[in-house]
Amino acid sequence: MPVQKEKKSLRLLTPDQVAQAYTKIKFVGEGSFGKVFKARERSAAGAERWVALKYIKLKSARLTADALRELKTLRALAPKCGPCHLVCYHTHFLTSMAAKGGRTHIFLVIVMQFVAGGDLAAQAASLTASEIHRVAQQLFEAVKCLHGAGYMHRDIKPANVLFQKGRDLNQNNHLVLADYGLACLKDWCTGTPGTPAYMWGPIRKGKGKQLSTATYKAGDLYGAAKTILRLLQGPEVDATLRGKLDGPSKSPKLSALMRRVMEDPTDWDAGSVLQKLKTMKK
């Protein structure tokens, strides 16, 4: 979609208007292409809810390819967000912000669901083997939904998997896959994908090249499997993958399955991994 068409739907809010609509704004983290803030949204009808505001700096008040890609992905996936464990999009707008020296910057602000529990890396130590098994199911359900809609995430890692705080683990939407700054749809997979520690080898070697949809899908499976392996075995997960279980694991069987997926993710799809997870004893 050309940038010009997307511009028609963009609202420009002054800093004062943003302050009226969003209160208690607090920095919570940084995504691939912008900073994320927690805020209390106040609707015209008086209702309030917690939301996440992702501020993406623009150049010359134009939507960059990366910003447009993330916005388009969130909007397209919005109808599936809850059942599919994908972060929910609410709305978006443009605003300005004064910087040091008097210069004014223009930001695209994407308003999304706020997930209170932080990312998986922060929760790893407290999760039991049974809970990690459920996390694995929900993560691969999210990947299945993404791939079913034609999208590839291209940066699945613990920092991009958010955890709903204070809810029963067996309820839907406990886990939320977020940050679509590197996501792509079939023919517009451009730019360098992923985080090296969670990137499948052929994608690392093909850095800067246009790779196939199948390659990026396999990369998502690799990233998801390594994310679960990190939960099971701690932050230092062996990357050589010689078919061994390296070090203690909260669930050796689940670790073994994740290593099998990582060894050759082209042999799998998200549905086949889910089938194995559902038949595996916890």
Residue 241's alpha-carbon distances to 17, 129, 193, 250, in angstroms, are: 53, 21, 22, 18
Dist CA 87 CA 126 (whole Å): 23
pLDDT of residue 282: 63
The helix (run of H) or strand (run of E) holding residue 52 is: strand 48-57
Residues above pLDDT 70, as percent of the chain: 86
pLDDT of residue 181: 85
Who's near 43: CB < 8 A, 6+ residues apart? none
Model confidence pLDDT, tens digit, residues 34-44: 899 999 998 77
Dist CA 235 CA 206 (whole Å): 26
Instruction: Name the range with the highest mean pLDDT among 5-14, 17-26, 157-166, 199-208.
Output: 17-26
> Domains plus CATH for the chain?
10-113 (3.30.200.20), 120-279 (1.10.510.10)
Mean pLDDT, the chain, integer? 85
Q: How confident is the model at residue 173 (pLDDT cuts 50, 70, 90)?
A: very low
Whether 86 has a pLDDT exceeding 80, the answer reads: yes
Whether 106 has a pLDDT exceeding 50, the answer reads: yes
- 143 burial (CB, 10 Å; 0-12 / 13-18 / 19+) is buried
Dist CA 217 CA 214 (whole Å): 5
- In DSSP notation, 79-120 reads GGTTTTTBPPEEEEEEEEEE-GGG-EEEEEEEEEE--TT-BH
Mean pLDDT calculated for residue range 97-108: 85
Lowest mean pLDDT among 87-101, 178-192, 211-225: 178-192
Give bridge partners of residue 86 from the DSSP assignment: 177
> Is the CB of residue 110 less than 8 Å from the CB of residue 32?
no
Mean pLDDT calculated for residue range 195-208: 87
- 169 burial (CB, 10 Å; 0-12 / 13-18 / 19+) is middle
pLDDT of residue 9: 61
pLDDT of residue 166: 56
Residue whose C-alpha is closest to residue 250's, from 261, 240, 237: 237
> Is the CB of residue 109 less than 8 Å from the CB of residue 94?
yes
Mean pLDDT calculated for residue range 11-20: 93
Model confidence pLDDT, tens digit, residues 158-167: 999 998 765 4
168/75: higher pLDDT: 75
Alpha helices in the chain (DSSP H): 3-7, 15-21, 65-77, 120-123, 129-148, 201-205, 213-233, 252-263, 270-279
Mean pLDDT calculated for residue range 235-253: 65
Dist CA 199 CA 239 (whole Å): 10
Q: How confident is the model at residue 69 (pLDDT cuts 50, 70, 90)?
A: confident
Model confidence pLDDT, tens digit, residues 140-159: 999 999 999 999 999 999 99
Q: How confident is the model at residue 68 (pLDDT cuts 50, 70, 90)?
A: confident
